Structure 1
Amino acid sequence: MTTVICPYCFDRAPAARLPYRCLMLTTGVRGSSACQAERDDTWAEFMGPTVPPALRMRGPVFAPPRRVHGRRVTGSRADCPDCGVSTPVRVCRRCHSDFPSEYCDHDSRIIALVGAKASGKSTYVSVLVNELRHRVGVAYDASLAAMGSETQRRDQEMAEDLYDRLRLPDATRPAAMGFNDPLLYRLSLPSRSRFGHGSRHTTLVFFDAAGEDLKSAEAMDRYTQYLSAADGIILLVDPLQLGSVRDQLPPDDGPPLPVVETPPQQIAADLAAQLRAHGRGGARGRVGTPMAVALTKTDMLRSLVTPHTPMLRNATHRGGLLDEADRQAVHEEVRSLLEGWDSGALYRQLERDFADMSLFGLSALGAPPPAGAPADAPKSGPQPLRIEDPLLWLLGRRGLLPVRKPGRTTAKGAGA
């Protein structure tokens, strides 16, 4: 039986037990009028006090039918018991949030995206989605589609702002100002088996926590359910937050340095503490959730790294395979940099707290914003460096992408 994880409250439930929401349409199925909207206080209370009274009125929610004519119901639609109109809209039994079409048909992978304020989380997601649809999508013969009207709207806005208007995304609003909807995408990858070639679909859920909500363990508790449900965590670390890096950067006319926020070492420690408190710690106290730690804005570090560093060139993804040797080379390069910048304090913290961790270096834009317009993208548009590496590593850990091991020329494909 398929288990569905709500992308809003992260409740787990068997797909067959999920309620439905009436569409409130008139079809004359039973010669009656359409159902009337009802107050959905369950949904409104979850969304918070900012929901206007009018929006609390929604289509009636009804339980899934157990049996029809003696046979168990397993389809993706159900008839409303009052008006008889068929509806495909499934809702979470805990928070009554509507699920997009097809959400309950595929396995889901919840990707937690965290980082201090100004670490570039919103820009990272915008560029990552574009690369998955183009350069990276071509390499892996993959496609990415936004799921649900809200993600489709925000997806279009992100693309128009960043790639057409060259405007960077606004900062994520803090949880105190309202609920931040996750972004839902369907990732389709080729699948090969003894029965032939086909496609394998996975739902990716990106949840972006505002930097203000990570300043202490108490504030971060708002996202505990989200973090404990995650299949993988991407922690973005802005190297410009580190004093040793700021001191080494050459003075020029570039954009001003960001205000120093919560130290990444503290964020990592708080993440681990929250996850251990909710059962994600192992026998030795280390968290089992895979942790991808990525230095952002590596384009700003060119004067601090060797000219031939693998961080400043994209992986080839030759043959549609993840190159493990390439990942290890980047990991060691970033580890060496951290040892020089903070005596390895962040790396030691991560190594103690997370059993499955890898370091990455990336740049969402490939160049800093214009000095006189820090809210703008470079005039050439985003030219990302290794933006996809953390996500692909997490997908590879879950067996969704084939991996080329060091010393091997082939690898077993996902779904083989």
Structure 2
Amino acid sequence: MIMTKCPRCFRRLPDGEWVFACRSGRCQEYEDPVGSAHTGIAVRSGPMHSVRRNPEVKHWRLPDDAQLCPSCQQPGVEVCPHCHYGLPPEWRLGTATCIALAGARATGKSVYIGVMIKQLDYLLSRMGSSLKFATDTSRRIYNDVYQRPLFEARGIMPPTAAAGVADAYQREPLILSLGVIDGQRRYLVIRDVAGEDLEASTVGVEHLSYFAQADSVFFMFDPTAVNQVREMLKDLLPPQLHEAGSPETVLENLILLLGSATPPIAMILSKFDTMQALRLVQGTEWSRIMSNPGAAFQRDPGLAALRYDEDDGALLDAEVRSLLIRLGAERFLNTMTAPHHGRPFAHRLFAVSALGEAAEGERIHHRGIASFRCLDPIRWTLAL
């Protein structure tokens, strides 16, 4: 039996229950409080009806006319029973891996998503599969928000809009079809959130409740925005182009948001090119540390490795942990290993650079994009 999740609220779709919403335009629409709570803005919907499996019928199957609206007799759209999100066609025939991204302002989440999806496409083609957008909305969002600004205009993408903005694109999940892998149709769902939304209190915020249902949380943080790190390296690093938010605050709010849930967390040290540049600062201890030719943070398996290398990943985790401890960020790390609720999170540390080199003002570097280890967290999550 195939069980999968809703791509918006990330909850498992119940077996034996289907809900359909009328979208014909013939029936009167009404305010949908459930959909509004999970979207973050007011939404309206046509009438809904549900169909449940009859447990007394041995070989029961969903009737062919189950999706017909009882009022207008037009085909409806299947929606999630939990949040009323319209599911893509044949969604229940595959399995979805749902990833929630978190991070403070100016962490580079949007740039990372844009580059990572491009690289994942290349990786899947080498594995004999292909990446496709499962919905027209996902394709449009990627083209408008990621592809054109980053790869065509070669500029730095604007910050993610807060949830209260009427046309905030991140309210819609990016839904990617990975093709058939190991005999199973696979989907990847990515949901982003504005840094401002996680820097504020997250208690009781329904439209962020999907974090607790995620298969993995990607927590991205700029090491130079951690208070202790910024103070130690203040004379060695260039000033930030945009004011960065507090990763400590976001991590603490994220843990409160997760409540009793403990999804595996990829702690992604972003903009690692900033740290790598320290090897050029001659005569400093950091020049020696960052110049270690045998370090995992000096190499990128890139597309040469089709599957996640556990030994390489464990080495990189240890190296990044050591770097953060040397930078005085023990308190930051302890939030994951010894949270106040007493349940340590399964987590792994990663180091990535989406662009490869610091931007030149509002433009990417003139040498173009030379990303570093962007696929590691995805490989770890998907076990690819």
Instruction: Tell me the TM-score range normalised by the shorter chain.
Output: 0.7 to 0.9
State how 1:129-208 maps to structure 2 within 5 Å: 129-134=117-122, 136-157=123-144, 158-178=146-166, 180-191=171-182, 199-208=183-192
Residue aligned with 1:320, SS: coil
Cα-to-partner distance string for 1:296-315 (whole Å, 9 max, x where unaligned): 11111121412523224321
Contact 2:36 2:42 in 1 (8 A): no
Give the % identical residues. 26
Q: Distance in 2 between matches of 1:48 and 1:155?
A: 21
Match of 2:309 in 1: 323
Structure 1 position 66, deviation (Å) = 5.4
Contact 1:317 1:323 in 2 (8 A): no
Amino acid of the structure 2 residue aligned with 1:393:
W
Q: Distance in 2 between matches of 1:243 and 1:65?
A: 54
Q: TM (normalized to structure 1)?
A: 0.76
Residue aligned with 1:110, SS: strand
State how 1:38-49 maps to structure 2 within 5 Å: 38-42=28-32, 45-46=36-37, 47=39
Q: Structure 1: which 5+ residue stretches go unaligned?
A: 25-34, 192-198, 281-287, 402-416
State how 1:298-309 maps to structure 2 within 5 Å: 298-302=272-276, 303=278, 304=286, 305-308=290-293, 309=295
Going from structure 1 to structure 2, the CA distance change for 1:66 and 1:289 (only over 3 Å counts) comes to closer
Going from structure 1 to structure 2, the CA distance change for 1:216 and 1:62 (only over 3 Å counts) comes to closer
Q: Distance in 1 between matches of 2:41 and 2:320?
A: 44
State how 1:14-413 maps to structure 2 within 5 Å: 14=14, 16-22=16-22, 24=24, 36-42=26-32, 45-46=36-37, 47=39, 56=44, 59-64=46-51, 72-74=60-62, 78-80=66-68, 81-86=70-75, 89-134=77-122, 136-157=123-144, 158-178=146-166, 180-191=171-182, 199-218=183-202, 221-222=205-206, 224-243=208-227, 245-246=229-230, 247-248=232-233, 256-262=240-246, 264-275=247-258, 277=259, 279-280=260-261, 288-302=262-276, 303=278, 304=286, 305-308=290-293, 309-316=295-302, 318=304, 320-353=306-339, 354-370=344-360, 373-374=361-362, 376-396=363-383, 401=384
Match of 1:27 in 2: none
Going from structure 1 to structure 2, the CA distance change for 1:101 and 1:379 (only over 3 Å counts) comes to farther
Going from structure 1 to structure 2, the CA distance change for 1:73 and 1:189 (only over 3 Å counts) comes to closer
Contact 2:95 2:186 in 1 (8 A): yes
Amino acid of the structure 1 residue aligned with 2:162:
P
Going from structure 1 to structure 2, the CA distance change for 1:140 and 1:155 (only over 3 Å counts) comes to same
Q: Distance in 1 between matches of 2:64 and 2:160?
A: 34
Going from structure 1 to structure 2, the CA distance change for 1:103 and 1:377 (only over 3 Å counts) comes to farther
Structure 1 position 189, deviation (Å) = 4.9
Contact 1:242 1:341 in 2 (8 A): no
Contact 2:5 2:95 in 1 (8 A): no
Q: Distance in 2 between matches of 1:160 and 1:291?
A: 30
Q: Distance in 1 between matches of 2:40 and 2:333?
A: 38
Q: Distance in 1 between matches of 2:64 and 2:356?
A: 44
Amino acid of the structure 1 residue aligned with 2:215:
D
Structure 1 position 268, deviation (Å) = 2.6
Going from structure 1 to structure 2, the CA distance change for 1:328 and 1:241 (only over 3 Å counts) comes to same
Q: Distance in 1 between matches of 2:18 and 2:322?
A: 49
RMSD between aligned alpha carbons? 3.0
Residue aligned with 1:14, SS: coil
Residue aligned with 1:153, SS: helix
Contact 1:139 1:318 in 2 (8 A): no
Going from structure 1 to structure 2, the CA distance change for 1:73 and 1:128 (only over 3 Å counts) comes to same
Q: Distance in 2 between matches of 1:119 and 1:220?
A: 25
Q: Distance in 2 between matches of 1:257 and 1:220?
A: 33
Amino acid of the structure 2 residue aligned with 1:390:
P
Q: TM (normalized to structure 2)?
A: 0.81
Amino acid of the structure 1 residue aligned with 2:330:
G
Deviating more after overlay: 163-172 vs 41-50: 41-50
Residue aligned with 1:360, SS: strand
Cα-to-partner distance string for 1:276-321 (whole Å, 9 max, x where unaligned): x3x32xxxxxxx3211101111111121412523224321565632
Residue aligned with 1:64, SS: strand
Cα-to-partner distance string for 1:210-252 (whole Å, 9 max, x where unaligned): 1112224446845552111011111101012134544536668
Amino acid of the structure 2 residue aligned with 1:369:
A
Q: Distance in 1 between matches of 2:216 and 2:191?
A: 11
Q: Distance in 1 between matches of 2:307 and 2:300?
A: 14
Amino acid of the structure 2 residue aligned with 1:186:
S
Amino acid of the structure 2 residue aligned with 1:137:
L
Cα-to-partner distance string for 1:323-381 (whole Å, 9 max, x where unaligned): 111111211111111011125222222222334111110000011111xx33x222333
Q: Distance in 2 between matches of 1:170 and 1:9?
A: 26
